Amino acid sequence: PKVRPSQSRTRETTVILVTGANGQLGRRIVQHLIAREPSLLDGRLGVSVRDPAQATELASRGVIVRKADFDQPDAMATAFAGVRRLVLVSTDGPGAERSARHRRAINAALSAGVSHILYTSLLGADADRPTEPAAAHRETESALQHCGVAHTVLRNPLYADDLPRLAEPALAQGVWRLPAGDGRVSLVSRDELAQAIAAAALAPRLDKRVYELTGQAALSYADIAARIARVSGRPLTYEAVSAEAYSGSLEARGTPARLVATLVELLTSVATSRLATTCNDFAALVGHPPKSLDCLIHEYFAPRSPA
């Protein structure tokens, strides 16, 4: 097949490569990179994905698509060749698997001579006794600290996008039962997080080693329920339940086992208030703060006027 001129140059000149670009966060990071710096499409923007057939739309726009499965380290050797900045999007799945994968990706980046790694972590990853989801991020952050390559950690809060999926079944009953105790949580949408991560990837200079991409405020689920009720016009109150009761209710609704595990882990982390940080790092990267939770709740829950 004919090689596009930009592709023939990529081994030397790919400036930024985003991993996990077929995933929801990775795809948005790529979109924000292109929106901020369209000239990257001149062979200087790459992605790695497990299945290139799902990335044909990116390839047709001029994004260099490489195949990399972090579970197959031998085949990763060339994926990061010529890359200067690597945006390593954390993978999903059980914690131990994830941290081993991320270590393999960091090693492949080292072998390829990547000069800067940006890693998408989770708020609370630095806690002494990290919760299950935070443990894999803590291990990856530690691997980065010891790898000898310049790196930036971008700690994400919980995705606000999950609110409708979490709250919709509860709105039918008027009671929202979650294993989040009285913990508070800071929420930002995936799209805005991707915007901040893209800004960091393009920044000529990064002042900090760790950025915490938090919302403007941290609220309890009781507060969030009250706001959803006000905006949707439907009654909703919050009730704290045990992790067991919550997983039982998700299983009864046919939720896939892996999603049950992820939701239980993340929501029980909220009870520790380790996901409640708020700071100005998002604005430092993007130039303005993320949308307020009231604004997001309005987007997700305000009744739609008939078309």
Ligand X SMILES: NC(=O)c1ccc[n+]([C@@H]2O[C@H](COP(=O)([O-])OP(=O)(O)OC[C@H]3O[C@@H](n4cnc5c(N)ncnc54)[C@H](OP(=O)(O)O)[C@@H]3O)[C@@H](O)[C@H]2O)c1
Minimum distance, C-beta of residue 121 to ligand X, in the bound complex (Å): 9
**Shortest Å distance, C-beta 307 to ligand X:** 29
Decide if 33 contacts 18 (C-beta within 8 A). yes
Residue 128 engages ligand X in binding (rule: CB under 6 A) = no
Q: Which helix (H) or strand (E) holds 42?
A: none
Considering the complex, state which of residue 234 and residue 289 has its C-beta at the smaller distance from ligand X: 289
114 is an interface residue for ligand X by CB under 6 A: no
**Is the distance from CB of 277 to CB of 186 less than 8 angstroms?**
yes
Binding string, 137-166, against ligand X, x = CB under 6 A? -------------------x-xx-------
| Contact (Cβ atoms closer than 8 angstroms) between residue 293 and residue 226 | no
160 contacts 25 by C-beta, under 8 angstroms: no
Instruction: Provide the 8-state DSSP code for 73.
Output: G
* Residue 183 is a binding residue for ligand X (CB under 6 A): no
* In the complex, minimum distance from the CB of residue 140 to ligand X, in angstroms, rounded to a whole number: 10
Where in 261-290 is the site for ligand X (CB under 6 A)?
262
Judge whether 79 and 49 are in contact, CB under 8 Å. Answer: no
Alpha-carbon Rg for the chain in angstroms: 20
**CB of residue 106 vs ligand X: minimum separation in angstroms?**
13
Candidates 30, 89, 236, 267; binder of ligand X (CB under 6 A) is 89
Residue number of the CB atom closest to ligand X: 23
Site for ligand X in 26-85 (CB under 6 A): 26, 49-51, 69-71
In one-letter notation, the amino acid at residue 260 is V
> Distance between CA atoms of 187 and 123, rounded to whole angstroms?
11
- Out of 42, 92, 168, 244, which residue is the one contacting ligand X (CB under 6 A)? 92
Q: Is 5 exposed, middle or buried (0-12, 13-18, 19+ CB in 10 A)?
A: exposed
Residue among 22 and 220 whose Cβ is closer to ligand X: 22
The burial class, CB within 10 Å (0-12 / 13-18 / 19+), for 17 is buried
179 lies in the site for ligand X, by CB under 6 A: no
Instruction: Kindly report the number of other CB atoms within 10 A of residue 9's CB atom.
Output: 16
Please identify, among the stretches 24-32, 199-207, 222-230, 284-292, the one whose residues bind ligand X according to the rule CB under 6 A. 24-32
Q: Quick check: 214 binds ligand X (CB under 6 A)?
A: no
Quick one: which of 17, 18, 25, 200 contacts ligand X (CB under 6 A)? 25
* 3-class DSSP assignment, residue 109: helix
Q: Is 121 in the site for ligand X (CB under 6 A)?
A: no
- Residues in contact with ligand X by CB under 6 A are 20, 22-26, 49-51, 69-71, 89-92, 101, 122, 156, 158-159, 190, 262
